[in-house]
């Protein structure tokens, strides 16, 4: 059984709570779909845990922006990317130790992983880091987009990026975990896109950290409470991070 996490966003309180929950679930491996950093106050600690605990970690758009530059980002996200870069970037040619290792970890992340008939990306197989696959694509009948994405899906596609958990099938349905009691039996002969939600910045109206357990044809979503107020307080003490980014943790939006 695999535990699949995404969008930690430098939130160590949420990540530690999720890792503690995973330890009770019998998962044999942990996979990360990217965006370990961005928004939150603790990028170093989060990178250390993900590097140690996950079989692989993909490159998300925030991870990539930190080592390059923030393009197509809103001002709030740009502030957080710049703050994170200032913490993580090695100071000159002679930098060494964990700071250099963390930077190299971000630089060397792949944008996708394939395991048999399962594809893992951060965003979408048409644009690994940046394209959003949204519930609104289904609600508003954006069938062409989803059909084209499914052409790139072997059987299952696991993504993050939107921070909203849910399962899309080739029947053009979107099912949120609340619709199914948090567990989904994946239908034989049907392709599925599974968004595992966000550990550190949930945006589906539930402020608990979110991740998914996967075993062959079954996905179970786990919601884990954590001390988000502690994270908010730390973010408030860091000048370059907007208060809005902190407030979102309380409301899960």
| pLDDT, tens digit (0-9, with 9 covering 90-100), for 75-97 | 889 999 999 999 999 886 656 68
CATH topology classification for 2-251: Purple Acid Phosphatase; chain A, domain 2 (3.60.21)
| Pairwise pLDDT comparison (239 vs 179), residue with the higher score | 179
pLDDT band at 237 (very low <50, low <70, confident <90, very high): confident
Which pLDDT does position 158 carry in this prediction?
98
Which pLDDT does position 45 carry in this prediction?
97
- The partner residues of 2 in beta bridges, in order of sequence, read 29, 214
pLDDT band at 8 (very low <50, low <70, confident <90, very high): very high
Q: What is the mean pLDDT of residues 189-201?
A: 97
| Pairwise pLDDT comparison (242 vs 188), residue with the higher score | 188
Which pLDDT does position 110 carry in this prediction?
98
Which pLDDT does position 197 carry in this prediction?
98
Alpha-carbon distances of 153 from 35, 99, 208, 232, rounded to whole Å: 22, 37, 29, 38
**If we measure between CA atoms, which residue out of 17, 12, 21, 59 comes closest to residue 39?**
12
Average model confidence (pLDDT) across the chain: 94
Q: How far apart are CA 122 and CA 35, in angstroms?
A: 8
Q: How far apart are CA 108 and CA 21, in angstroms?
A: 28
pTM: 0.95
User: Position of tokens 């980002």?
Assistant: 73
Q: How far apart are CA 160 and CA 203, in angstroms?
A: 12
């Amino acid at each position: 059984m695999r535990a699949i996490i995404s969008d930690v966003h430098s939130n160590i309180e949420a990540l530690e709570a999720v890792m503690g929950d995973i330890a009770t679930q019998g998962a044999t491996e942990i996979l990360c779909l990217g965006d370990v950093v961005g928004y939150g106050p603790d990028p170093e600690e989060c990178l250390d845990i993900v590097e140690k605990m996950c079989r692989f970690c993909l490159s998300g758009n925030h991870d990539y922006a930190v080592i390059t530059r923030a393009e197509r980002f809103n001002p709030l996200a740009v502030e957080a990317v710049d703050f994170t870069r200032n913490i993580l970037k090695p100071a000159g040619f002679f930098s060494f130790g964990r700071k250099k290792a963390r930077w190299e970890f971000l630089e060397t992340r792949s944008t996708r992983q394939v395991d048999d008939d399962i594809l893992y990306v951060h965003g979408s197989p048409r644009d690994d880091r940046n394209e959003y696959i949204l519930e609104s694509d289904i609600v508003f009948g954006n069938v062409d987009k989803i059909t084209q994405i499914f052409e790139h899906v072997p059987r299952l596609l696991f993504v993050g990026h939107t921070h909203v958990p849910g399962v899309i099938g080739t029947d053009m349905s979107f099912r949120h975990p609340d619709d199914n009691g948090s567990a989904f039996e994946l239908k034989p002969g049907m392709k599925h896109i599974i968004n595992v939600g966000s550990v550190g910045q949930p945006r589906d109206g539930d402020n608990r950290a979110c991740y998914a357990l996967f075993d062959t044809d079954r996905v179970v979503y786990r919601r884990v409470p954590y001390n988000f107020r502690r994270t908010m307080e730390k973010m408030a003490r860091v000048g370059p991070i907007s208060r809005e980014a902190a407030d979102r943790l309380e409301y899960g939006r």
